[in-house]
Amino acid sequence: MRQSRNKHQDLFVFKTVLIADDSSSMRLSVRMLLEGRHTGLRVREAIDGMDAIEKAKTLRPDLILLDLAMPRLNGAEAAAVLKNDMPETPVILFTLTDLPIDSLCAAIDVDFISKADGVSKLLERVDALLPPALPNEGATLW
């Protein structure tokens, strides 16, 4: 029985999301929402754009969430570097801004979701990019 469980654990692949936001409370809130919704999701945190780039190189996340206004390197600048280094990795700017940033997001090939729209829009987009595992997915009868 133990061998079978280990065999199934080996087949299960964790997805990793990197959240970069200078607000620790925002990082914690998003982390809790994502981990509560997606079993097997590893959420890692970065405190600014420079930290996000460094951690992304090591972690190779499946999805990156960036705030726009962060110290040292803002989210748009970090996104441009990340998309150049990791073009297949989806990046979402999840931020609160009144600026028209649609053309900026298009230019650097990232999604934009306003924090004013709430986390429901963010969760919808994350679900589309990293579908939650269904109950008993991968289960066998023996």
Return the percentage of the chain with pLDDT > 70, whole number.
Answer: 81
Q: What is the pLDDT of residue 12?
A: 55
Which domains are present in the chain? 13-129 (3.40.50.2300)
CA distance 92 to 77: 13
Return the percentage of the chain with pLDDT > 90, whole number.
Answer: 41
Q: Which residues contact 28 (CB under 8 A, 6 or more apart)?
A: none
- pLDDT digits over 9-65, tens only? 445 568 999 999 999 999 999 999 898 888 888 999 999 999 999 999 999 999 999
